[in-house]
Structure 1
Amino acid sequence: MRALPARRLASSALCATLLTAVAAPTALAADAGPAREQRARSAPRAPLPGADGLAAQARSLGDAGGVLAAITPLLDAALKADKGQLAKDQATKLAAAVQDAIKKATAATTPTTPTTPTAADPAAPTAPAAPASPAAPGLTKGGQAGTAAIADVKAASLAALQKAVDGLAAATTSGDPAKVAPAATAVVAGEVNVLAATLVGGGLPAPDLPGLPKPPSAPAAVPPAPAAPSLPAAPAAPAAPKPATG
């Protein structure tokens, strides 16, 4: 009869051993999980080659797509409304959504000017002397001047599109159905201009779909101003007459 408690103790010890063997690896793995995540977060990350350029291209397309997506509800509402007329609050709400999208795209298009450190800051390095400007600088597509020119074209296309959207919003509340179709046509033309400016000046890769015509390229340079004509030479003074002898 005394063997039963011993067997029970042995069984309990065996169960405890089995539980420890099963639970220990799980507990260790649970403890090691946060440590691995912490090491992964603190480890230096190598940037993907060309990631900055690809991200800029994606943002450029995304900004243009955001503008087009905001215009579509306004166009649909105007073209499907009775005689092209909308309620004042509806037209204002749809036009405001387009304005917000255009402002966002314009802010992304505007190049940022780097700030020059002041001389009063002792830690600021001394700015190098500016190189001499050439006689007739050209706006190249790859230089800073060319980049600024392309940004100006994109900003101008967005401003023209905003003006066309304002015209459409006004036409849909004017009470004159004849004004809606021309205003909608101007908006669509403005969308095409924004897309063209984005594709040409957004640093995007050229399309490679077979059968597509070659897209236009950005202007490489501004032709130099013609040289000023030279003044004609002054005529020689006549010789003084000789005095008479005699």
Structure 2
Amino acid sequence: MRLPARRIASTALCATLLAGITGPAAVAADSSRERTHAASRAPVPGADTVLAQTKSLANLGAVLTPATDLLNQALQNGQLTPDQAQKLVDAVKAAIAQVSAAAPAAPSLPVSPSLTKHGAAGEEGAAGEDGKAPKAKDLQGDALAALQKAVDALLAAVTSGDVSKVLPAAAAVVTGLVNFVAATVLGGGLPAPDLPGLPALPSLPVPAPSLPVPAPSLPVTTPALPTS
């Protein structure tokens, strides 16, 4: 059945008009979606502090996960083959190295001009012999170094053939992990916890700079007056 030419022309005209109406609207909708998508991917202004805190928390997981894997295998099996133990230990050491490399340098402590002038070298918070400000103590770095030593001791224990050595070595690793967590929480710039009923965490001790000791007064000798 053939459609009349007039109906075909009318249908084509309607399709053309519909395309002319919906075409720009569709393009505008696509452009709006693209702008919305681009805006949703823009960084949040002022988020640097929270991003740094998030990174500190991620570092905790990066070390805790392989370390707890090592502990689980050591405590559940007692002894491991050298290859098994080394693979687990290597994962912990790789995480420690990654976190250590990404850690910011310890900031310099302020130094009083009087301390720089009078010395008091070698004490934290006081000027060194070269007059430069000392570095703040790197608690997280110290904790990671101690943890690595504990992991090495556990490696020796799980491959020694003596199961009795495993438990104290594993306990030392757990202590090392707790020290790492505490150093990160207290010194990593994380916000203070606000859980109701939670005791306040202690703040890191800040050593007081030593004050210069005044030199003792020398005795003043009064010259004898001539006698007549």
Which band: TM-score by shorter chain? Answer: 0.7 to 0.9
Question: Which residue matches 2:164?
Answer: 178
**Alignment partner of 1:65: what SS?**
helix
CA displacement 1:169-222 (0-9 Å, x = unmatched): 121111111111111101100111111111111111111112211101122x32
1:149 aligns with 2:145: no
**Alignment partner of 1:135: what SS?**
helix
Aligned 8 A contact 1:110 1:155 in 2: no
Shift of 1:57: 0.5
Shift of 1:162: 1.2
Q: Which of the numbers 176, 180, 205 marks the counterpart of 1:194?
A: 180
* TM-score of the two chains, using structure 1 as the length reference: 0.71
Mapping of 1:30-45 within 5 angstroms? 31-32=27-28, 35-36=31-32
- The structure-2 alpha-carbon separation of the partners of 1:185 and 1:112, relative to structure 1 and needing over 3 Å to count, comes to closer
Q: Which of the numbers 5, 10, 16 marks the counterpart of 1:14?
A: 10
Structure 2 residue identity aligned to 1:63: N
* TM-score of the two chains, using structure 2 as the length reference: 0.76
1:89 aligns with 2:120: no
Shift of 1:223: 1.7
Q: 1:225 and 1:73 mapped to 2: Cα distance? A: 46
Identity %: 47
Mapping of 1:160-239 within 5 angstroms? 160-219=146-205, 221-225=206-210, 227-228=212-213, 230-231=215-216, 233-234=218-219, 236=221
Question: Which residue matches 2:64?
Answer: 68
Aligned 8 A contact 2:154 2:173 in 1: yes
Question: Which residue matches 2:128?
Answer: none
- The structure-2 alpha-carbon separation of the partners of 1:61 and 1:76, relative to structure 1 and needing over 3 Å to count, comes to same
- Structure 2 unaligned spans of 5+: 117-123, 126-132
User: Which is higher, the Rg of structure 1 or of structure 2?
Assistant: 1
- The structure-2 alpha-carbon separation of the partners of 1:26 and 1:80, relative to structure 1 and needing over 3 Å to count, comes to farther
Shift of 1:68: 0.5
- Structure 1 unaligned spans of 5+: 114-131, 140-144
Shift of 1:163: 1.1
Q: 1:173 and 1:26 mapped to 2: Cα distance? A: 74
Q: 1:25 and 1:75 mapped to 2: Cα distance? A: 68
Shift of 1:237: 8.9
Shift of 1:24: 3.9
Question: What's the C-alpha RMSD, in Å, of the aligned pairs?
Answer: 3.5
Aligned 8 A contact 1:75 1:184 in 2: yes
**Alignment partner of 1:174: what SS?**
coil
